[in-house]
Structure 1
């Protein structure tokens, strides 16, 4: 063990042993009866598999929503382009539903197909924004308490003549319903990789490799470059991720939906939001015990980080079942066309010090908003100060190795003799660095041979002075241990009873008491 590991282990034994041992008692019995969860009742309703795309579109039918999320009871506009004279729209809530994966919430919507104008890229920033007319307005107002439950929804678009299909993804929130867990869908990362119209924030994923410094939410999500990745076209990285490395097929398998399926299968009391909500509301976590970042959560604004840190310091438990998290700072601006807030994402990245207007304006008061990596100047706010770990390397596909099997989080879990959880380390991994949070405990220290050198991914846990536990898996692929969606089309099976039980223990630890800003 390194000196750093010894130091954190000593702190664990002396300073927070009582807290973590007390957590064992919480692990034994759930915080709330899962049988009483609204999620349990919702998933007892009949689902179906007709939500799955059978003939994914290229550009024959596609669209976007006017917001990444809406409060239950609000309206949402769909902007749809189609080369077909008519299209149909069917709206599904995503979950478990006895393995079917979704429930039809509203169907039978038939609309005239409209050819919408195709935008061109801004010659300076690369911004591509659609100015499309509204094709349909969804109204989620209802007197039925069982309808439009908070969740991640997919509107399935189908061309009546061509049969081509795609999705529009959106989230329904219930800001006024207390729940144990708040699941964040990381749509800013979806948008960073989205190359619809020929531009993303990556040169290898952009036309002529002139990547965009600004990207818009007023456009559809493009199709994955993987030959089988079209199954999620229009859904961002929720089902299948946008590959920027065509030879690295693991990057297209997706992560968020796997954990949604598992949480809902097990009846956890969960509501949903997006990181645009985390950005726009300091009380985004109101009424929740813990907040979950899942899969790939790379792009954070200053407001997002301040709001999450503030919630943590008020006692909210944080679960980072993710990696490469909070790596790049972004800014969110209004749409230059509609004026709607938070519809344009600004990300100058590697050229920020040379091109970002905030770096060039001679005003030091806004330097903390320059869109560089969080660990770099002028920010100097390494992400591990919040998360416990930070980005190490990519690509990785290996085994996660538990190195503290006697820790209470692993109590009663039948780990294999070598303490390995096969295939759960990757696609990107994080590790612990010196000068991280006080009392950081390294639970797993997983080696991986990459380019002739051993690199490590770390799973960590720490407790804040406010009493908040903060867990980090240090791997994007953790949710593959929970659910086998996308097997065998995009990856091999990785489900693990041990990973599922560990996750139950972690969730019980994170949700150990009721917290809200109002209390």
Structure 2
């Protein structure tokens, strides 16, 4: 290509082109073999000072060119613009940049796979660099691209299918396009929020990592979709926010891994097993492994009420492949269900919505007289209420003798559990593969947390499920109203 076009678009309900440069030229630069871990090291070729009148939002940078073959070639990156402090909205959405880094396989590898010369070797890289492009499909992709949640019911003795992988292979997208980030998750929520009059500011997980006070100005902080990876500092920011009276609205699932970031924020580290983490001996609490590890001592439920090890998969491959796709309601009188007309035992978000699908969170629980209660052995807050539940498993059962590819085989889970050994709590080893997905809420300090416990809330909003929409409104309106009351009290 002789030249290309650079275009910046504020994405959302009505995408708006904000800036364009045609006939841009640049020298050709190769990517290092370890670009996924160390970055590309490319020089700056174009700069832009963001105009002060640009609204807060998620901005997509598109590189576009016409190849000599006539094919239109496009790739994307992003940045977020935060609101002017003098005109800051009361709610902020936290974009899941750490989870994106875990799944970004541009350059050949991510935290899951791609290392080594054997294409069957799924060994992942413990390092993920910010100094490289983002895998195709995480920032932008066509409407209707398949999700990881399986919306097709497996027939008797049927083979599992993974439509998102098949679509990616056929169309030249990353295998992980549907595993994380904007195009699959946050974008759908933002479009719904803008359509329904909710004004949002925009932060990233990296903002929370850098500044524990960054959430202080807001009444409501929102996380949606797949927020699997968090650093210690990011959790500190959320805990501080809730303790001080904030409302944390999580419409997401699979809260599982601790990561570390380098001082310059250019590298994310996740070794998974403390025995592989070179810094674990000096600082066992910040070892990059599951939050439930005894050596870490900070169960995920203490921050968000639920955790990833309690649930994980449902309606994915052979993971509960014929479940309803919805949550069974147990506490319809809870404020989050006000106005929904839901009854005890109703299915919330079942097919064709598939709210309870792909990856979900839970806690250890028991039943008493028809209602679920936490056992509190996994750090669940004493004020936690379990509102709704669905069956889930930690890995997919292989009934095909290894002849078919399995997306998340249970043997990987067993192998990882063996690697952690006594560092895992007994309840994880005892639970084998079976778990649950949950919707829950609790109070902490002067604030409150609502946890939707599933990655698929944004999709449920996109398809217009009226029960889901009313619940999301209830949560946002309650947390925003509580913030306004706090401001009025403080003013007096």
C-alpha distance in structure 1 between counterparts of 2:84 and 2:102, whole Å:
26
Q: CA deviation at 1:382?
A: 0.9
C-alpha distance in structure 1 between counterparts of 2:148 and 2:125, whole Å:
17
Q: What CA RMSD, in Å, does the superposition of the two structures yield over aligned residues?
A: 3.0
Determine whether 1:438 maps to 2:382.
Answer: yes
Q: Deviations over 1:315-337 (max 9, x none)?
A: 11111111112x11111114xxx
Q: Secondary structure at the match of 2:16?
A: strand
1:85 and 1:114 in contact (8 A); partners too: no
Alignment TM-score, normalising by the size of structure 1: 0.69
Q: Secondary structure at the match of 1:482?
A: helix
C-alpha distance in structure 1 between counterparts of 2:148 and 2:457, whole Å:
19
Q: Which residue of 1 aligns with 2:135?
A: 222
Q: CA deviation at 1:311?
A: 1.4
Determine whether 1:329 maps to 2:258.
Answer: yes
C-alpha distance in structure 2 between counterparts of 1:420 and 1:368, whole Å:
38
Match of 1:157 among 63, 78, 87: 63
Q: Secondary structure at the match of 1:141?
A: coil
C-alpha distance in structure 2 between counterparts of 1:460 and 1:367, whole Å:
30
Q: Which residue of 2 aligns with 1:263?
A: 193
Q: Deviations over 1:352-398 (max 9, x none)?
A: 32x212124xx3xx222211111103112110111111113443121
What does residue range 95-494 of structure 1 map to in structure 2 within 5 Å? 95-97=12-14, 102-121=15-34, 127-142=37-52, 147-161=53-67, 162-174=71-83, 176=85, 177-203=87-113, 208=118, 209=121, 210-223=123-136, 232=137, 247-249=161-163, 252-253=177-178, 254-325=184-255, 327-334=256-263, 341-350=264-273, 352-353=274-275, 355-360=276-281, 363=282, 366-391=283-308, 392-397=310-315, 398-415=325-342, 418-422=346-350, 423-433=354-364, 434-435=375-376, 436-447=380-391, 451=397, 455-466=435-446, 468-484=447-463
Q: CA deviation at 1:197?
A: 1.2
Distance 1:158 1:252, change over 3 A: closer
2:244 and 2:445 in contact (8 A); partners too: no
- For these two proteins, the number of residue pairs brought into alignment is 392
Structure 2: gaps (5+ residues): 151-159, 165-175, 179-183, 316-324, 365-374, 400-432
Q: CA deviation at 1:274?
A: 0.5
Distance 1:415 1:382, change over 3 A: same
C-alpha distance in structure 2 between counterparts of 1:419 and 1:195, whole Å:
37
Q: Secondary structure at the match of 1:203?
A: coil
Q: Secondary structure at the match of 1:329?
A: strand
2:248 and 2:448 in contact (8 A); partners too: yes
Q: Which residue of 2 aligns with 1:72?
A: none
1:404 and 1:443 in contact (8 A); partners too: yes
Match of 1:502 among 462, 471, 482: 471
Q: CA deviation at 1:233?
A: 5.6
Q: CA deviation at 1:244?
A: 13
Alignment TM-score, normalising by the size of structure 2: 0.73
Q: Which residue of 2 aligns with 1:64?
A: none
Q: Secondary structure at the match of 2:355?
A: strand
Structure 1: gaps (5+ residues): 1-83, 224-231, 335-340, 485-494
Q: Which residue of 2 aligns with 1:492?
A: none
What does residue range 40-51 of structure 1 map to in structure 2 within 5 Å? none
C-alpha distance in structure 1 between counterparts of 2:468 and 2:450, whole Å:
14
Distance 1:206 1:196, change over 3 A: farther
Distance 1:322 1:244, change over 3 A: closer
C-alpha distance in structure 2 between counterparts of 1:140 and 1:459, whole Å:
40
Q: CA deviation at 1:460?
A: 0.4
Distance 1:138 1:207, change over 3 A: farther
